[in-house]
């Protein structure tokens, strides 16, 4: 149960501030939508580099040291946000976001590999991350404009997850040699990496200004946190029931449902209308994320590296998406950016299906479907 507790607490501590960042930049520092996109992008850039580097390091040197270092640094850097608010310095705030991006990207691949190797089902295990995200969102919403207290709350949660990680039993770990640039591993999992990159780039076009969009349709404070929490807690429920399905089918459904969800977002005019779409969003992401994790882990011996590359593709989309999304929202509005994201999800689905056909895997899926009938 301890790995699940770490997943719960670390997700609450790292995801909570994501809601605050666009609001702080816009209201406290007067930042434009384009600048907000740049800040979110540099956070993701730092996470991109650490996800792959530390995932590979976890395969080479072991899970324990990477996990503990990432969790402890994340707690320390989260506290530094408070100093930037006291000093009223947007430059220092951005610098701290970069540091947190690197720290928060260090431990997830090691934690996921540890969970997989200790016989945790990826759907059930990932559900605790969704629950943590929900708790973090609700907790952040309750602090309102007391941003320094909100960051303190997140830091305490991260230090608690570090404390639990100290008690984990680490049996003799198998060390794996991983090339600096694992071409064979990337080629093996390219269908998921490429489709995740495209779909998540579109999603991040939305998320970069999503709190501001919610404010524009009437949501404030606790209600913004509640909207995020609906997504998170719905994911928690759904992830507990999807381990039985083939990972490729989960990925395909997740991408297709994402296209529908983003289009529905563009049609909402009041915050309560977005609640059903949040449930559909939860279904799409639960299937896509769990399916992608299982797809790369079941095919790879270098599990932390494969997971780190998946996280890296998500982080890379977190660089491109916010940069495009911030300026797109400024030019064609929030809803225009959502429709572009929907189109990108359709493209991602086409790429994934093409890779399944090219590799011959789609024919194996057809045989499995006939057997089940």
CA atoms within 13 A on the CB side of 358: 11
Q: Is residue 175 part of a domain?
A: no
Q: What is the pTM of this model?
A: 0.79
Domain that holds residue 15: 2-167+181-372
- As a whole number of Å, the end-to-end CA separation of the chain is 36
Asked whether the beta carbons of 57 and 113 are under 8 A apart, the reply is no
Whichever domain contains 94, its CATH number is 1.20.1250.20
CA–CA gap between residue 132 and residue 138 (Å, rounded): 10
Is the residue at 172 inside a domain? no
pLDDT in tens, the chain (373 residues): 788 899 899 988 887 777 788 888 888 888 887 788 788 778 888 888 888 788 888 877 777 888 999 999 999 999 999 999 898 888 999 999 999 989 988 888 888 888 887 777 878 888 888 888 778 777 777 776 778 888 999 999 999 999 999 888 876 666 666 667 777 788 888 889 999 999 999 998 888 788 888 888 887 767 777 887 788 888 888 988 888 888 888 999 999 999 999 999 999 888 888 889 999 999 999 999 999 988 888 877 777 778 888 888 888 888 888 778 878 887 888 889 899 999 999 999 999 988 877 766 666 665 555 545 4
The total of other beta-carbon atoms located within 10 Å of residue 164's CB is 18
With tokens 């059930």, the residue in question is 124
Kindly state the DSSP code that residue 271 receives in the 8-state scheme.
G
358 within a domain of the structure (yes/no): yes
Contact at 8 Å (CB) between 337 and 325? yes
Would you say 308 and 51 are in contact if contact means Cβ atoms under 8 Å apart? yes
In a domain, 267, yes or no: yes
Q: Is residue 173 included in any domain, yes or no?
A: no
Structural domains of the chain, count = 1
> Is residue 259 domain-resident?
yes
């Amino acid at each position: 149960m301890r790995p699940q507790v770490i997943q719960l607490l670390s997700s609450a501590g790292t995801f909570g501030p994501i809601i605050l960042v666009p609001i702080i930049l816009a209201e406290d520092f007067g930042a434009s939508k384009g600048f907000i996109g740049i800040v979110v992008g540099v956070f993701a850039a730092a996470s991109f580099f650490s996800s792959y580097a530390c995932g590979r390091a976890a395969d080479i040197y072991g899970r324990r040291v990477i996990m503990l270092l990432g969790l402890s640094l994340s707690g320390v850097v989260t506290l530094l946000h408070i100093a930037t608010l006291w000093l009223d310095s947007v430059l220092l705030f951005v610098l701290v976001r970069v540091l947190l991006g690197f720290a928060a990207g260090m431990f997830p691949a090691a934690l996921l590999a540890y969970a997989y190797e200790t016989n945790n089902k990826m759907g059930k295990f990932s559900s605790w991350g969704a629950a943590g995200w929900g708790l973090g969102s609700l907790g952040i919403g309750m602090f309102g404009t007391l941003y320094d207290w909100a960051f303190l709350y997140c830091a305490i949660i991260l230090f608690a997850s570090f404390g639990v990680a100290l008690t984990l039993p680490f049996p003799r770990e198998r060390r794996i040699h991983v090339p600096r640039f694992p071409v064979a591993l990337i080629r093996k999992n390219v269908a998921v990496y490429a489709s995740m990159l495209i779909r998540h780039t579109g999603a991040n076009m939305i998320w970069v200004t999503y709190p501001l969009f919610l404010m524009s349709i009437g949501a404030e404070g606790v209600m913004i946190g509640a909207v995020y929490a609906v997504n998170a807690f719905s994911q928690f429920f759904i992830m507990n029931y999807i381990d039985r399905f083939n990972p490729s089918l989960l990925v395909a459904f997740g991408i297709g449902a994402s296209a529908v969800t983003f289009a529905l977002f563009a049609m909402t005019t009041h915050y309560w209308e977005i609640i059903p779409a949040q449930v559909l969003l939860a279904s799409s992401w639960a299937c896509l994320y769990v399916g992608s994790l299982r797809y790369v882990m079941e095919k790879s011996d270098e599990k932390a590296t494969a997971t780190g590359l998946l996280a890296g593709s998500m982080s890379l989309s977190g660089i491109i998406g916010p940069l495009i999304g911030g300026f797109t929202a400024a030019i064609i509005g929030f809803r225009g950016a959502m429709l572009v994201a929907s189109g990108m999800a359709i493209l991602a689905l086409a790429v994934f299906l093409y890779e399944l056909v090219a590799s011959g895997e789609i024919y194996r899926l057809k045989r499995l479907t006939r057997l089940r009938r």
